[in-house]
Amino acid sequence: MKKKVTKVVTLLLIGILTILMFTACGKKDNNDADSNKSGSNTGSKVEDKKDDSKNDNKDSSQDKEPVAGIEGWEPFEKNVSITIPVYDRGQDGLPAVDNNYWTKWVQENFGDKYNITVNYEPIPRTDVMTKYSLLIAAKNTPTILMEYDYPKVTQWAAEGAMATFNMEDFAFVAPNYYQSMVDNDLLVYTELDGETYYVCAVRPYAATEYKFISFYRLDWLKKVGYDHVPTNREEEVDAMNKIIAAGLTDIEPMNHKLPTANYQANAWRSFPLDERDWVMYADINVAAFSWEPVKEAIRRDNENWHKGFITKEFELNDATTEQANFVAGKTYSYGGYMASKVDWLDAFYENNPDAELAIGTFLYDDNGEVVFDMTDGLIPQERSNTPYGMVIGFSSFATEEQIKAAWMYMEWMKQPEVLKTIQYGIEGIHYTETDELGYPIPLDMSGKEERFNFNDNKDMWCVVIEAKERDTIEDSIAAIAPRGIPQDFTEDMVKNYYVKAKKAENGWIYPDPVFSVPIEAVNMYSASLQSLFQEYYTKLVKCDPADFDTMYEKFRQEYLDAGYQEIIDERLAAYEAGKSTRLPDKSKK
């Protein structure tokens, strides 16, 4: 069971301790944060959701609204040092994530003003849990602990590394951040076992995940008789065989590496999806190896391996290998998250100046409606991203002042002028002109000290929001469409979004379940099951197709016995106790 950790005591300033509750604000528009810049003492009122008796002192505060947020902040009397985690993606050509132009900019514009020293802790993106485990064991965790995957943060809470806190106190210090959670229905994700552990960053357009784009070698396809990206298995097999026969690459054309627990088998799921199956198996933290859709997805990989489409020794590949092969012009497709500057896309065109890429085929009927090729009998289901971006907690080893300073950092980062600067840069340095919508046109900052970190500083401002957000989806996509390359993908990225929107409308895109209690078996078995999954996966992909079913059934039982049965039983029990989210109703059409 999870360890009990000491609650963070109230952080309200002396002089407002008698104010025990505030009346809820109405929903704000995007410009409400600007009210804190006016010099007025306009604060944010917080609705008490737990106990109406806390309104006893409400009348005495009616005449004078308390100061909240940035306008009420004062510098700390003694310097407070906080540490913020930031992903280290190990990419060449980028500055050190914990010491660069932008970390210094944050210190100068936020830290120095409030007598706060802001440090950054590099977290290897490919080994998050190991790094956090070491920090927790050393009782040296960052002031903020954050991750995209809910089970990871529940594990840290269970290990006693996260403090509980009063959401009203957070809302007082960071009213705009709090209101954003209210407006986006994120408060439901902030509690674990009835206590408040987390706040959540916003993820715009969560169901459609328009930021991740897969690219395909359209020039290769044209050379073998296709004017589009294959939309069904028959076309895919034909195209790959012809690409190999034409000698367009000297290695296997399909990028492939040993999968992580995030092994997507959505297309092989039945539809409508049974809610009990969904709650037991839909997950990206432990591979659902014993689930039938996963079995069939691995069977497809077995077919591709035997046809020579994927690397014979794919288990030796990693993300770096995949990217390097595509950049070198050796593989058919590759995908990633988009930004105004994508280094691997730049490198691809430098190495392959005559190449032509496509991001997919968009099929429409005579009425202009999106249609889907389901020749294979598979419904093109996808995993929705979570409604939240980063799930954020606070170190149980931190002081009250450090946690308050972390809240101040998050609220400061939330301010529109701060977000605009850290996402788009400074006029005269990072841009000199704006586009027709008034957004900065970025200059090439390659090799310069002032250059952005990964994805336009994404790993810094993700503490607030998961993607650049503009007034419309078209404008938001324009913000992350890669610039400075031979092809402009903005229009196709917009089309890609609307294809996904249609899938979501059909109920084909849905999220994984989220649990409001720790799933203890995940913490116990996830590491060992990951090792087993990769071992079994490799053997199944390479086995004789005639032996596939027999071998799979043997491995399936071993996987269940190694702890996976306990995981799915515990997940189902939480669901039956009302301790999980539910499958969206529209997926039952």
**HEC profile of 263-314:** CCCHHHCCCCCCHHHHHHHCCCCCCCCCCHHHHHHHHHHHHHHHCCCECCCH
Q: Name the residue among 70, 18, 63 with its Cα closest to residue 43.
A: 70
Q: Check if the beta carbon of residue 386 is closer than 8 Å to that of residue 206.
A: yes
H or E stretch including 202?
strand 199-202
Q: In this structure, what are the phi and psi dihedrals at residue 382, rounded to the nearest 5 degrees?
A: -140, 160
Q: In this structure, what are the phi and psi dihedrals at residue 296, rounded to the nearest 5 degrees?
A: -70, -35
If one counts every other C-beta atom within 10 angstroms of the C-beta of residue 375, the result is 11
For residues 156 and 471, what is the distance between their CA atoms, to the nearest angstrom? 36
Residue 434 pLDDT: 92
Residue 589 pLDDT: 44
Please give the DSSP secondary-structure letter assigned to residue 230. Answer: -
Under 8 Å CB-to-CB from 257, ≥6 apart: which residues?
Answer: 314, 315, 317, 318, 319, 321, 322
Q: Check if the beta carbon of residue 115 is closer than 8 Å to that of residue 366.
A: no
For residues 71 and 75, what is the distance between their CA atoms, to the nearest angstrom? 12
Please give the DSSP secondary-structure letter assigned to residue 254. Answer: B
Determine, yes or no, domain membership for 354: no
CA distances from 313 to 18, 95, 541, 543 (A): 67, 33, 11, 13
Determine, yes or no, domain membership for 588: yes
Angle between helices 292-306 and 548-559 (to 10 degrees): 140
Determine, yes or no, domain membership for 534: yes
Residue 586 pLDDT: 55
Under 8 Å CB-to-CB from 356, ≥6 apart: which residues?
Answer: 217, 218, 219, 222, 487
Determine, yes or no, domain membership for 282: yes
Which value, in Å, is the radius of gyration of the alpha carbons in the chain? Answer: 25
The domain in which residue 562 lies consists of 263-291+520-589
Determine, yes or no, domain membership for 504: no
Residue 437 pLDDT: 79
Under 8 Å CB-to-CB from 482, ≥6 apart: which residues?
Answer: 338, 339, 340, 341, 342, 345, 489
Q: Name the residue among 237, 193, 243 with its Cα closest to residue 217.
A: 243
For residues 295 and 285, what is the distance between their CA atoms, to the nearest angstrom? 17
Determine, yes or no, domain membership for 524: yes
Cis peptide before 511 (omega within 30 of 0): no
Please give the DSSP secondary-structure letter assigned to residue 522. Answer: H
Identity (one letter) of the amino acid at 256? Answer: H
Instruction: Specify the number of domains making up the chain.
Output: 1
CA distances from 130 to 127, 145, 220, 395, 470 (A): 6, 14, 41, 17, 36
Residue 340 pLDDT: 86
Q: Name the residue among 528, 588, 589 with its Cα closest to residue 558.
A: 528
In DSSP terms, 431 is beta-bridged to 427, 442
Under 8 Å CB-to-CB from 522, ≥6 apart: which residues?
Answer: 151, 155, 285, 286, 567, 570
Determine, yes or no, domain membership for 525: yes
Q: Where are the beta strands (DSSP E) in 427-558?
A: 431-434, 440-442, 509-510
If one counts every other C-beta atom within 10 angstroms of the C-beta of residue 156, the result is 24
Query: 10-residue block means of pLDDT along the chain (589 residues)?
Result: 37 34 36 33 32 35 52 95 95 89 98 98 93 96 95 91 96 97 94 95 91 96 97 97 98 95 94 96 96 98 98 93 97 94 95 96 83 92 93 97 98 97 96 88 90 93 92 90 95 95 93 91 94 98 98 98 98 95 67
Residue 504 CB-density burial (10 A; 0-12 exposed, 13-18 middle, 19+ buried):
buried
Task: Report the Cα 431 to chain-centroid distance in Å.
Answer: 28
Alpha helices (H) in 85-183, listed in sequence order? 101-106, 112-114, 128-137, 150-158, 167-173, 175-183
Determine, yes or no, domain membership for 436: no
Q: Name the residue among 386, 341, 398 with its Cα closest to residue 161.
A: 398
